[in-house]
Amino acid sequence: MEDNKTPLSREEVLARSRKENACQDEREHQVTVTANTYSMIGLIAVFLLLAVARLGWMGGRLYDLLAMVCGALGAGALYRWRQLHKRSDLMVCLCYALCTVIWLGLYFWRG
């Protein structure tokens, strides 16, 4: 250990702080959360466009699209449950999983 009591420069303080908090950058965490939110908004927007197109003039069923949306939402609920261990997140995850299985079953059974 150094007994030198000289004050650290601003750059040294910042470098030490970055090194100590390498895995805990709050800004990076917030950007990731916001990016995930935008990803879900994009997923829903594309789903709505494809659903309107398929129902409107292409003809067809939405089983595959509904399975994708339920699967994505279920994956988010599963992650929340694994991190927070809240029973409500587990129940939401199980409901989405059940919906995904039903939609996939209908897709493969009825096309």
Task: pLDDT tens for the chain, 111 residues: list them.
Answer: 455 667 778 888 778 777 776 666 777 778 888 888 898 899 899 999 988 998 888 778 899 999 999 999 999 999 889 988 889 989 999 999 999 999 999 999 987
Asked if the structure places residue 60 within a domain, the reply is yes
57: Cα separation from own chain's centroid: 32
Asked if the structure places residue 22 within a domain, the reply is no
Asked if the structure places residue 24 within a domain, the reply is no
Question: Distance of CA 32 to CAs 25, 39, 45, 62, 69, Å?
Answer: 11, 10, 20, 30, 20
Asked if the structure places residue 81 within a domain, the reply is yes
Element (H, E) at 48: helix 26-53
Asked if the structure places residue 10 within a domain, the reply is no
Asked if the structure places residue 7 within a domain, the reply is no
- pTM for the structure as a whole: 0.66
Asked if the structure places residue 3 within a domain, the reply is no
**Domain housing 102:** 42-111
Which pLDDT score, from 0 to 100, does residue 92 have? Answer: 94
Which pLDDT score, from 0 to 100, does residue 4 have? Answer: 62
For the chain, how many structural domains are there in total? 1
- Alpha-carbon distance of 102 to 100, in angstroms, equals 5
With vertex at residue 88, the alpha carbon angle to CA 40 and CA 90, rounded to the nearest 5 degrees, is: 75
